[in-house]
Amino acid sequence: MKQIQTISILSLSLLTLFSCAEQNDRADGYGNFEATETTISAESNGKLMAFNVEEGQQLTQGSFIGYIDTIPLALKREQLGVSKELIASKSRGVLSQINVLNAQLAAAEVNKVRIENLIRENAGTQKQLDDINGEMAVIRQQIKSIEIQNAPVMTELKSIDVQIKQINDQIAKSKIINPINGTVLAKYAEPNEITAFGKPLYKIANLSVLELRVYVSETQLSSIKIGQEVEVKIDTNEDMEAFTGTVTWIASEAEFTPKIIQTKEERVALVYAVKVNVKNDGRLKIGMPAEMNLSTNNKL
């Protein structure tokens, strides 16, 4: 009987030890790697004349990728330039009339001064002064009338200038310039295809640092803070590979654990999402599962 009791106690002790070891081996959080993916779209319409992009290619910010046909835009800009010159010539004709009238007005002002001097010396008449004032009023009215006629011409010139600026902007946007450093994830177009504004050309993401989104319980929140270094592990052929990560974000509101994380009982619990940045040496991939340990010293 004693032998049976001893065996039972020993079995219970071993079971408790294995349970504790299993509990200690569990990670503090589970999740998948993510990256900020940017879809680059066409900003102009036309034929894709050149497009030098391949999936997996490393691109730097500001690098020239290709361009969309700009001949129609260049021809339209040239046509607007001809129209502007034609309208400007009309405007110059109107302004020449104003210059003539301004010269007449200046001559009339000189005559007015002369008549005023004659009147002071009793050598001139009031009628002469009234006549010259009337003549100057007529000239001013003519100048004002011509300026009113020229206003629409000047407005049209400004409108053409705006249209030329718009075309120059479209021509500039016909050049495909890569906006960020990263790796091409997908390619959606080929050279000589017809593209349109907003049509996706390729997708790119910076894979030098990946983001691991994990979920922790409310009781673990006191043990984690932004800027804290944590251990991140991924599965390998033989064992688990460890990386160092940095906590960059902690959710302010709780949510239900995603179904892909852990057991049925734990899926009904409210947890908090945490983002951990991990430097990628090329082995980490988008969507790869991983686990997080808040401390490497609390695991037996």
For residues 167-191, average pLDDT? 95
Count CA atoms closer than 13 A to 278's CA, side-chain side: 34
| Token pair belonging to 50 | 């050149």
Q: Look at 121-125, 180-184, 213-217 and tell me which has the smallest mean pLDDT.
A: 121-125
| Token pair belonging to 116 | 């005023």
44 vs 46: CA distance, rounded Å: 7
89 vs 120: CA distance, rounded Å: 47
Confidence band (pLDDT; 50, 70, 90) for 236? confident
The DSSP output letter for 37 is E
Dihedral angle of Cα 11, 12, 14, 18, to the nearest 10 degrees: 130
pLDDT of residue 261: 54
59 vs 46: CA distance, rounded Å: 24
Confidence band (pLDDT; 50, 70, 90) for 2? very low
pLDDT of residue 258: 64
244 vs 232: CA distance, rounded Å: 6
pLDDT of residue 7: 35
The pTM of the full predicted model, rounded to 2 decimals, is: 0.67
Higher pLDDT, 281 or 100: 281
For residues 91-98, average pLDDT? 74
For residues 113-134, average pLDDT? 82
pLDDT of residue 231: 94
222 vs 40: CA distance, rounded Å: 41
Dihedral angle of Cα 37, 40, 41, 44, to the nearest 10 degrees: 160
For residues 138-147, average pLDDT? 81
Q: pLDDT by residue (tens digit) across 259-278?
A: 555 544 455 467 889 999 99
pLDDT more than 70, % of the chain? 85
